[in-house]
């Protein structure tokens, strides 16, 4: 054995041997334990790390090759009352492990304190203070030394501009498990996710970016284990460097890693970006009565944010039982190193940070603009051009901080979601807010250098009702989660149109389908970055379960056996996305200013009433108003762009919205001369217009109840649409 080096952390194969380095600030010593096989119940070698640089313990072992299994035993005080959970009887996986070769097997010896049961329960302080002397080696996770070589050929990132980005939030297994055209052995795998049927679907739909639910190696909680459920979503990370073995065709680490790389490479070839939903705020070790699997046993006091009033417990702003201590520079560095690994080694294009508010909680730097963790990310050239998305809340005090993340971050905009749902549900006094959301939520994001692209708009996501369930259920139905239906959010702002769940009523189904079209259309005609949840374009239902995190079954799997009703919905979504892509006025990277533009157009956006005139102040304040319209000029509206405007991208757009229960007659605005309004869609109809319908300026248009209609302006110079001609969309 040689002293080795303190960097890089983890197990690094180099010069015919392996350098091991692990961080622990408060331990007394560390033993590196080598295992001969995945079934081994005891290490074959135990090697004391005698070299230490600062808080980094390290050694170099010549002759050790990739594939070697290992773990650590960490010696130090077992003093939970002081925040320390060291217990040398427990085998611990490497926080920097590139592959978890063996997952833990639930057993009472995994806990640092003595207990004989596996009940998911609160433990007394007396129990917690009694150190367990049993060896956890037969049941512990094992890390594996990995050395990966992969031919990326000429792989390049698509680098889709934010303003052109359309995000598709997907789960590897949920997307592929039931697809009839994917080979059974490929369903649920990284390979299956880039099979021809999936690539074809993504391309036809027109999305630019897939946001994958967590693919870091996770581990089931004790509650799920006891109830024969699984951590399907994967929001309980055991390793931030290892891909989740659930999604691989292979059992070997190197093959799984290369399978992931092939998936990214294939998506890039199709022009599709890959964003990882990453759970850097907490781990799978649960609360103070959870097991010692890795971080807790290596250095509980350093890795976790502890409760100052009781160091046996955690400052849990995540609602999961623990929170990583990102204020510790070594913990922050681990997250940054993980991000760098996925960017440089795995070629991913961005991150969505789960409960990002927890990552930036810092008493010394309450302002995100000065937060050292964000500063480190924003200033690192490796992350230049990488998409960064924050879920800007957590469950702690002052947890909702939307609009607080600096450039270049974007944020999930839950206010867009709730506002769109409430407006179309018919709630009162929604005009001011829905117009603000459509215009890019400047009230939230018009910070220094902010733009509409700071807002990730969505009407449904993995967390909550699917789009289908949003129009089918008014109450959550989470009984299968075995939490007495107490889990999940109670405020979904949904509407079932008179029947809870499935129905055979044609009238109810028609209203539900129209509401889905309204919500999708609102999403794609709004400024900001639209995100749809996989399956919403296909009518995916979770049978009213709005928190299906533990359902590894048909509840979460997309049903690809589409009937006529859902084929029509899919076609509508395809045309809607195509329409957005064709009209750059829907994809601004600057907020509207309401200023005069040119002699042809008075403002960069014009909000109108049924009269075709600009909304008056009194109309904005009306409690009962549920219908309005807005007019967008052509981009860079000039005489030249109008005169030579053969492309619809240079056409002004008009949208009329009616969330009331009665039809509304609109006069089509006459701000523009020498042209006609050509209807592109009306959500009263199930499809985009196939036959052009043209209307004169000032002509009356009857918009049915609960509908949106969209028009483009065609100048007479460019030639009006002819009867029977399908307009370009």
Active-site residues, by number, are: 354, 391
For 681-695, the DSSP string reads EETTSSS--SS-EEE
Using an 8 Å Cβ cutoff, are 688 and 542 in contact? no
Query: Would you state the structure tokens that stand for residue 644, as one six-digit string?
Result: 């030579």
Task: Please report where in the chains the tokens 């399908």 appear, as a residue.
Answer: 726
Q: Which helix (H) or strand (E) holds 412?
A: strand 410-412
- The β-bridge relationship of strands 606-608 and 627-632 is antiparallel
Task: Please report where in the chains the tokens 């002293």 appear, as a residue.
Answer: 3
Query: Would you state the structure tokens that stand for residue 610, as one six-digit string?
Result: 């049924």
Using an 8 Å Cβ cutoff, are 277 and 171 in contact? no
CA–CA dist 604, 595 (Å, integer): 6
Using an 8 Å Cβ cutoff, are 279 and 288 in contact? no
Query: Would you state the structure tokens that stand for residue 564, as one six-digit string?
Result: 């006529």
Task: Please report where in the chains the tokens 């480190």 appear, as a residue.
Answer: 376
CA–CA dist 186, 13 (Å, integer): 31
- 462: helix, strand or coil: coil
Cis link prior to 218 (omega < 30° from 0)? no
Query: Would you state the structure tokens that stand for residue 658, as one six-digit string?
Result: 């009616």
| Beta bridge pairs of residue 598 | 601
Residue 82 CA: distances (Å) to CA of 75, 76, 362: 15, 12, 21
| Beta bridge pairs of residue 411 | 390, 455
Task: Please report where in the chains the tokens 């949920």 appear, as a residue.
Answer: 174
Helices assigned H by DSSP within 621-703: 639-643
Cα radius of gyration rounded to whole Å, the chain:
28
Q: Which residues contact 36 (CB under 8 A, 6 or more apart)?
A: 44, 69
Q: Which residues contact 22 (CB under 8 A, 6 or more apart)?
A: 9, 10, 30, 49, 56, 57, 58, 72, 94, 95, 96, 298
CA–CA dist 390, 367 (Å, integer): 15
Using alpha carbons only, give the angle 272, 278, 283 rounded to the nearest 5 degrees. 160
Residue 374 φ/ψ, nearest 5 degrees: -65, -40
Cis link prior to 408 (omega < 30° from 0)? yes
Using an 8 Å Cβ cutoff, are 707 and 514 in contact? yes
Using an 8 Å Cβ cutoff, are 706 and 518 in contact? yes
Picking from 443, 278, 416, the residue whose alpha carbon sits closest to that of residue 351 is: 278
Residue 373 φ/ψ, nearest 5 degrees: -65, -45
| Beta bridge pairs of residue 614 | 608
Task: Enter the DSSP assignment of 633.
Answer: P
Task: Please report where in the chains the tokens 């070629």 appear, as a residue.
Answer: 347
Q: Which residues contact 126 (CB under 8 A, 6 or more apart)?
A: none
Dihedral sign computed on CA atoms, order 74, 79, 80, 82: negative
CA–CA dist 530, 704 (Å, integer): 26
Q: Which helix (H) or strand (E) holds 370?
A: none
Length of the chain measured in residues:
729
Task: Enter the DSSP assignment of 92.
Answer: B
Q: Which helix (H) or strand (E) holds 333?
A: helix 329-344
């Amino acid at each position: 054995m040689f002293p080795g080096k303190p960097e890089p952390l983890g197990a690094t194969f180099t010069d015919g041997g392996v350098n091991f380095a692990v961080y622990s600030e408060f331990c007394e010593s560390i033993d590196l334990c080598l295992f001969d096989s995945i079934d081994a119940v005891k290490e074959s070698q135990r090697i004391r790390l005698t070299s230490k640089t600062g808080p980094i313990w390290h050694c170099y072992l010549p002759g050790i090759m990739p594939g070697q299994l290992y773990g650590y035993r960490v010696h130090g005080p077992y003093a939970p009352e002081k925040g320390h959970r060291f217990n040398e009887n427990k085998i611990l996986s490497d926080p920097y492990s590139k592959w978890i070769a063996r997952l833990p097997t639930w057993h009472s010896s995994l806990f640092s304190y003595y207990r004989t049961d596996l009940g998911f329960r609160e433990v007394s302080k007396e129990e917690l203070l009694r150190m367990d002397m049993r060896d956890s080696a037969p049941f512990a996770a094992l890390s594996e030394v990995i050395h990966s070589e992969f031919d990326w050929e000429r792989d390049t990132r698509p680098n889709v501009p934010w303003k052109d980005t359309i995000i598709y939030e997907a789960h590897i297994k949920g997307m592929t498990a039931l697809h009839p055209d994917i080979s059974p052995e490929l369903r649920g795998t990284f390979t299956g996710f880039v099979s021809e049927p999936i690539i074809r679907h993504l391309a036809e739909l027109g999305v630019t970016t897939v946001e994958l639910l967590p693919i870091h190696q996770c581990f089931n909680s004790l509650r799920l284990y006891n109830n024969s459920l699984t951590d399907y979503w994967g929001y309980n990370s055991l390793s931030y460097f290892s891909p989740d073995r659930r999604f691989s065709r292979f059992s070997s680490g190197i093959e799984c890693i290369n399978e992931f790389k092939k998936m990214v490479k294939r998506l890039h070839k199709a022009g599709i970006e890959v964003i990882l939903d990453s759970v850097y705020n907490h781990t799978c070790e649960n609360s103070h009565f959870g097991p010692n699997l890795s971080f807790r046993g290596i250095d509980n006091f350093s890795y976790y944010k502890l409760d100052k009033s009781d160091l046996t417990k955690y400052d849990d702003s995540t609602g999961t039982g623990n929170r990583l201590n990102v204020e510790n520079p070594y913990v922050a560095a681990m997250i940054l190193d993980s991000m760098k690994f996925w960017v440089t080694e795995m070629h991913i294009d961005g991150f969505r940070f789960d409960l990002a508010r927890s990552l930036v909680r810092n008493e010394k730097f309450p302002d995100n603009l000065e937060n050292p963790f964000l500063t480190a990310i924003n200033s690192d050239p490796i992350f230049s051009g990488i998409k960064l998305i924050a879920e800007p809340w957590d469950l702690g005090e002052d947890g909702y901080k939307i609009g607080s993340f600096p450039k270049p971050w974007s944020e999930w905009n839950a206010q867009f979601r709730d506002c769109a749902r409430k407006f179309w549900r018919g709630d009162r006094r929604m005009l001011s807010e829905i117009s603000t959301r459509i215009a890019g939520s400047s009230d939230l994001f018009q910070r220094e250098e902010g733009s509409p692209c700071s807002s990730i708009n969505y009407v449904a996501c993995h967390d909550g009702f699917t789009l289908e369930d949003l129009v089918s259920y008014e109450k959550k139905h989470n009984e299968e989660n075995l939490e007495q239906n107490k889990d999940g959010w109670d405020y979904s702002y949904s509407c079932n149109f008179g029947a809870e769940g499935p129905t055979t009523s044609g009238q109810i189904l028609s209203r539900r389908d129209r509401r889905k079209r309204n919500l999708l259309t609102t999403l794609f005609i709004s400024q900001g970055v639209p995100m749809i949840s996989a399956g919403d374009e296909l009518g995916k239902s979770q049978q009213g379960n709005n928190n299906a995190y533990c359902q590894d079954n048909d509840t979460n799997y997309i049903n690809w056996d589409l009937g006529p009703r859902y084929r029509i919905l899919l076609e509508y979504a395809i045309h809607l996305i195509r329409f957005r892509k064709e009209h750059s006025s829907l994809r601004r990277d600057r907020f509207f200013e309401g200023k005069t533009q040119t002699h042809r157009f008075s403002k960069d956006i014009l909000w109108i009433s049924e009269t075709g005139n600009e909304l008056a102040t009194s109309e904005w304040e009306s409690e009962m108003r549920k219908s309005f319209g807005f007019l967008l000029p052509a981009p860079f509206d000039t005489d030249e762009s109008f005169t030579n405007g053969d492309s619809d991208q240079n056409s002004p757009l008009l949208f009329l919205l009616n969330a009331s229960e009665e039809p509304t007659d609109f006069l089509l605005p006459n701000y523009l001369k020498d042209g006609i309004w050509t209807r592109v869609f009306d959500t009263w109809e199930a499809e985009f217009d196939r036959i052009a319908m043209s209307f004169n300026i000032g002509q009356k248009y009857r918009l049915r109840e609960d509908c949106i209609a969209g028009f483009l302006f065609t100048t007479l110079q460019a030639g009006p649409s002819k009867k029977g001609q399908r307009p370009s969309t």
